Amino acid sequence: MQPRPRKAGAAFLIKGNRAGRSEYFPTMPNTSKILLPLDFPSADAALAMAAQTHNDVAGFKIGLELVNAAGFDIFARLQDQVGPETRIFYDCKFHDIPNTVAGAVRAASRRNVWMLNVHAVGGGEMMRAACRAAGEGADAAHAACPLVVAVTVLTSTHAHALQTEMGVSQPLDQYVVHLARLAQDSGCDGVVASPLETASIRAACGPDFLIVTPGVRPLGADAGDQKRIMTPGEAVRAGADYLVVGRPITSAPDPGEAARAINRDAGNLA
Ligand code: C5P
12 vs 195, higher pLDDT: 195
Q: pTM value?
A: 0.89
Residue 264 maps to a domain: no
Answer whether residue 235 is part of any domain: yes
Q: Is 16 within a domain?
A: no
C-alpha dist (Å) from residue 206 to 104, 117, 190, 245: 29, 20, 11, 24
Does residue 176 sit within a domain?
Answer: yes
Q: Is 93 a catalytic residue?
A: yes
263 domain residue, yes or no: no
Given a contact cutoff of 8 angstroms between Cβ atoms, the answer to whether 217 and 225 are in contact is no
Mean of pLDDT values over 146-162: 93
Counting the structural domains of the chain, the total is 1
Amino acid 25: pLDDT: 44
Residue 228 lies in a domain: yes
Quick check: CB of 77 below 6 Å from ligand 1? no
User: Is the pLDDT at 143 greater than 60, yes or no?
Assistant: yes
Residue 262 to residue 172: CA distance in whole angstroms: 27
Q: Please answer whether residues 92 and 64 qualify as being in contact, where contact means their C-beta atoms are separated by less than 8 angstroms.
A: yes
Task: Kindly report the CATH number assigned to the domain that includes residue 220.
Answer: 3.20.20.70
Contacts of 233 by beta carbon, 8 Å cutoff, 6+ apart: 265, 266, 268, 269
List the domain range (segments joined by +) for residue 169.
34-258
Distance of alpha carbon 124 from alpha carbon 250, whole angstroms: 35
CA 215–ligand 1 middle distance (angstroms)? 7
- Mean pLDDT of the region 64-68: 96
Q: What does pLDDT average to over the chain? A: 88
Q: Which amino acid does the sequence have at 91?
A: D
Question: Sorting pLDDT into bands at 50, 70 and 90, what band is 5?
Answer: very low
Q: Is the separation of the CB atoms in 19 and 4 below 8 Å?
A: no
Q: What is the pLDDT of residue 268?
A: 63
Q: Is 181 among the domain residues? A: yes
Ligand 1, atom 13: nearest CA belongs to which residue? 214
Mutating to test ligand 1, I would choose from 155, 210, 213 the residue with most ligand atoms within 8 A of its C-beta, which is 155
Q: Cα of 47 to ligand 1 centre, how many Å?
A: 19
List CB contacts of 15: < 8 A, sequence separation 6 or more.
Answer: 189, 190, 207, 208, 209, 210, 241
Three-state secondary structure string covering the chain: CCCCCCCCCCEEECCCCCCCCCCEEECCCCCCCEEEECCCCCHHHHHHHHHHHHHHCCEEEECHHHHHHHCCHHHHHHHHHHCCCCCEEEEEEECCCHHHHHHHHHHHHHHCCCEEEEEHHHCHHHHHHHHHHHHHHHHHHCCCCCEEEEECCCCCCCHHHHHHCCCCCCCHHHHHHHHHHHHHHCCCCEEECCHHHHHHHHHHHCCCCEEEECCECCCCCCCCCCCCCECHHHHHHHCCCEEECCHHHHCCCCHHHHHHHHHHHHHCCC
Least confident of 29-33, 60-64, 217-221: 29-33
* Nearest by Cα to 59 from 80, 88, 93, 81: 88
pLDDT at res. 31: 85
> Is there an atom of ligand 1 within 6 Å of 232 CB?
no
- Give 192 Cα–ligand 1 centroid separation in angstroms: 10
Catalytic residue (choose from 15, 33, 61, 93): 93
Which pLDDT band, with edges at 50, 70 and 90, does 30 fall under?
low
Residue 20, pLDDT > 90, answer no
29 in any annotated domain: no
Atom 21 of ligand 1: nearest residue by CA position: 154
Closest C-alpha to ligand 1, atom 17? 154
